[in-house]
Amino acid sequence: MDQLNSTITSESDADLIATINNVTLQLIRYFSIFIFLFGSIGNILNVLILSQRSFRPNPCAVFFLFSSVVDFLAILSGLLSRILSGWGADLTATSRFFCKLRGFVVNTARPVAIWYILFAMIDRWLLSSLKLHRRQMSSLKNAKRAMIISLILA
């Protein structure tokens, strides 16, 4: 009798695992496409708007511009391979180079994008300060320095 119960339990566990795997595959296939499309469109629109001439001298806009560029790279490298894997065509599974490149880009781009948003927040804080010295620290030159240093440290 115990043998029969363990067999039934094993079969029901196997069915549950198969169902969970199928749901996961369907989520990867369709929800990833949704995130990819809306994330890409949003970042591309941010780049188009923030790269206009009127925003270029503003350090905060520059931080947000490059944050959108880096976020787009993260979405492109991270989600595209997951979408392809949902349809059985994953380049990262067949090529060691693409696997390592994807890992590097995703694990570097996400923190850098967050740092750029943090720098934009600091820039706004500097500009709202009553002290002249702090307001003068908000410059395009310092913004470029901060972005280069964060890329090197990432």
- 14-42 pLDDT, tens digit per residue, is 888 888 988 887 887 788 889 999 999 99
How far is it, in rounded angstroms, from Cα 24 to Cα 90?
A: 16
How high is the pLDDT of residue 121?
Answer: 96
Total domains in the chain come to 1
Asked whether the whole model's pTM tops 0.95, one would answer: no
How high is the pLDDT of residue 6?
Answer: 52
62 lies in which domain range?
Answer: 2-153
CB contact set of 154 (below 8 Å; sequence gap of 6+): 108, 111, 112, 115
Task: Find the CATH number of the domain harbouring 115.
Answer: 1.20.1070.10
CA–chain centroid gap for 50, Å, is 19
Per residue in 32-43, is it b (16+ CB within 10 Å) or e — as a string?
A: beeebeebbeeb
| End-to-end alpha carbon distance in the chain | 60
Residues of the chain with pLDDT under 70: 1-9
How high is the pLDDT of residue 94?
Answer: 79
Size of the chain, expressed as the number of residues it contains: 154
